[in-house]
Amino acid sequence: MHKNSLADRPLHTAIQFGLSIAGLMFLAGCVSLPKEAPPAKVACPAGVPAGTQCLRGQDSSGSHYLIATPAKWSGVLVVHAHGGPALGEPKASRADEDIKRWAITLTEGHAWAGSVFRQGGFAVTTAAEDTERVRRIFVDHVAKPQRTLLHGQSWGAMVATRAAELYPKSWEGILLTSGVVAGPTTYDFRLDLRAIYQHLCQNHPRADEPQYPLALGLPADSKMTPADLATRVNACLGLRKPAAQRTAEEVQKIKTIVDVLKIPENSIVGHINWGTFTLRDVVEKSGGASPFGNDTVKYSGSANDAALNAEVLRFKADAKASARFEADVNHQGRFKVPVLTTHGIGDSTVFVEGSDTLRQRMEASGNGARLVQTYVNSSEHSYLGDAIYPPLFEALLNWVNQGTKPTPAGIATRCTALRPAQAAECRFDTGYTPRPLSSRIAPR
C-alpha cells in the first residue's frame, strides 16, 4: 500500500495514475472549478415525503443529479454517494432509486443531494468529484446549509472517503453505512472465487472456449450476459435446486466455496458476477492489465487444502495496474471531521471486517479519536431499516454541533427512544468488535 495520498504526490505522478483533470486542478490549487448552471424544478419521484421540493440537472461534467429539500428543512444538507458501481451508461433514474431508498433523510428534515456519477463502472475519483460538484450546486442555487454531511453507502463509502480527502473543507461530518472502507483489498476474494470455482467447475470458461487469465474478469469482446453466467453456475453447483435435490458432488463443491471463502451460498452468484463483469470493467480502465492476483495466496478450509493450493490457477497482479487502481480508489484515513459508521455484522456483500481496516488507518493517521463505529445484528446490506438511521444522523450532528462524541450504547438507546414502535429494528450490538479483514480475505 502507498503511504502517501494523491494530494502528497507530484502532478506528473497523479497524471500517471490516471487522476482526472478536475482532480489535478484541485490538487494543484491553480484553477477553480466552473460555475454550474442552475437545476430545474421538477416533480419529485414517488416515495418521498409530501411537501418535498425537487430539482434536477446535469452538471458540467455530464453527471445527472437530484436535489430534494423537505417542507420543514433542518438546515442540514446530506450529500449522498450511492452504491454500485453500476456498469454501462449512467441513467438519471438512478437518483430516483436512491432518494426513494433514503427517504428517511428527508423524513428527518434534512435536504438530500445525490449525483448519479458521470462515468459508469469503477471510477472512484471522478465520482468523488461529482459528489463535490452536486454539493456546490446546492450551495450556489438552493441555499447555504448550516451543516453539510457526507453519506457514503456501500461502494459509495469508497467514493465518500475519496471525496473527504480530496475536499476536506466541504464536509462537517461523515456517515458511512455498509461501506467499502478497506480499499482494494475488499475485492481480492472475487478473484479467489473465480479461481476456486474454475478449479471445481471448469465451465467459466469451458474447455472448448478461448482461454484467458481469470484475473481479467472476461475478455473485452465476450457477449456473455449475467443470465448466461447464472446458467453456468447452476449447471455446476445446482444452486437453483432445493438443497435436498442436489447431488453429492454439487453439495461438496458448494461446501468448498463456502468454507474456503467464508461466504454464504446465496451470495455465490452475485460475487461471481462481480468477479466477471465488474472485474472486466476495472481491467479495461487499467489499460487491459489486472490489479488483482492470487499467486501468493494460501487457501484453507477445504477437504484437501494441499491439493487445492497445488491445482488452483494462479495469477500475478500487474504492478502498474495495481498502483493505478489504488490511486483511484484508496484512502489513508485522513479525515479531519467526525466519522460515524454502521454495518450489518452478517453482511455478505461487503464484509464487516473491513471496518477494522478503517479503524487502523484512522488511528495511524492520528484521527482515531474522530471515529465511532456501530454494528447491527443483520445480514442486510442495502438498507438496515428505518429505525437505524435517525439516531445515527442525530448522533453525528450532536458531535458536529456540540462536540459530544457519541457511543454505540448511546446510539442504541436513542434508537429505541426515537422509534419505540420499531424498537425491534434497533438491533445494534454494542459489544461487537470486528476481526481483521485478513481473517476473512486471504492475505497476499
Tell me the C-alpha distance between 213 and 315, whole Å: 7
Which runs of E-coded beta strand occur in 70-207?
76-81, 111-115, 147-153, 173-177
Which runs of E-coded beta strand occur in 124-231?
147-153, 173-177
* Model confidence at 133: pLDDT above 70: yes
Half-sphere exposure of 442 (CA within 13 A, CB side): 22
- Cell numbers 464484509 correspond to 351
Longest distance between any two alpha carbons in the chain, whole Å: 66
Which residue, among 295, 275, 291, 273, has the nearest Cα to 328 in the 3D structure?
Answer: 291
How much is the pTM?
A: 0.92
The pLDDT of residue 35: 87
The pLDDT of residue 32: 58
What is the mean predicted confidence (pLDDT) over 158-162?
98
Beta strands 371-376 and 76-81 are unpaired
The pLDDT of residue 34: 73
The pLDDT of residue 33: 65
The pLDDT of residue 268: 98
Tell me the C-alpha distance between 11 and 278, whole Å: 29
* Model confidence at 19: pLDDT above 60: no
Which residue, among 227, 281, 245, has the nearest Cα to 85 in the 3D structure?
Answer: 281
The pLDDT of residue 13: 32
**DSSP codes joined into one string, 20-48:** -HHHHHHHHT-SPPPPPPPPEEEPPPTTS
* Model confidence at 356: pLDDT above 60: yes
Q: Please provide residue 194's backbone torsions phi and psi, each rounded to the nearest 5 degrees.
A: -60, -45
Which residue, among 202, 164, 185, 196, has the nearest Cα to 338 in the 3D structure?
Answer: 164
Tell me which of 129 and 8 has the higher pLDDT.
Answer: 129
Query: How far, CA to CA in Å, does 320 sit from each of 284, 289, 291?
Result: 13, 8, 8
Tell me the C-alpha distance between 346 and 3, whole Å: 31
The pLDDT of residue 12: 29
Tell me the C-alpha distance between 322 and 317, whole Å: 7
pLDDT, tens digit (0-9, with 9 covering 90-100), for 183-240 = 999 999 999 999 999 999 999 999 999 999 999 999 999 999 999 999 999 999 999 9
Q: Please provide residue 69's backbone torsions phi and psi, each rounded to the nearest 5 degrees.
A: -125, 125
The pLDDT of residue 160: 98
Q: Percentage of residues in the chain with pLDDT exceeding 70?
A: 93
Answer yes or no: are the C-beta atoms of 344 and 380 closer than 8 Å: yes
Which residues are bridge partners to 67 per DSSP? 55, 113
Beta strands 53-58 and 64-69 are antiparallel
* Model confidence at 28: pLDDT above 60: no
Helix 248-261 / helix 226-237 crossing angle, nearest 10 deg: 110
What is the mean predicted confidence (pLDDT) over 170-176?
98
Answer yes or no: are the C-beta atoms of 155 and 362 closer than 8 Å: no
Three-class DSSP category at 321: helix
Tell me which of 86 and 369 has the higher pLDDT.
Answer: 369
What is the mean predicted confidence (pLDDT) over 100-109?
98
Summary mean pLDDT of the chain:
93
* Model confidence at 106: pLDDT above 90: yes
* Model confidence at 1: pLDDT above 70: no
* Model confidence at 85: pLDDT above 60: yes
The pLDDT of residue 11: 29
Confidence of residue 14 (pLDDT cuts 50, 70, 90): very low
Tell me which of 24 and 249 has the higher pLDDT.
Answer: 249
Which residue, among 192, 206, 212, has the nearest Cα to 256 in the 3D structure?
Answer: 192
Answer yes or no: are the C-beta atoms of 397 and 366 closer than 8 Å: no
* Model confidence at 257: pLDDT above 50: yes
Check whether the bond before 338 is cis (ω within 30° of 0): no
* Model confidence at 402: pLDDT above 90: yes
Three-class DSSP category at 128: helix
Which residue, among 263, 268, 278, 271, has the nearest Cα to 379 in the 3D structure?
Answer: 263
In the chain, how many H helices and how many E strands?
16, 9
The pLDDT of residue 235: 98
Confidence of residue 378 (pLDDT cuts 50, 70, 90): very high
* Model confidence at 360: pLDDT above 70: yes
What is the mean predicted confidence (pLDDT) over 18-36?
51
CA 285 to chain centre: 18
Which residue, among 302, 226, 230, has the nearest Cα to 266 in the 3D structure?
Answer: 230
Q: Percentage of residues in the chain with pLDDT exceeding 90?
A: 92
pLDDT, tens digit (0-9, with 9 covering 90-100), for 304-342 = 999 999 999 999 999 999 999 999 999 999 999 999 999
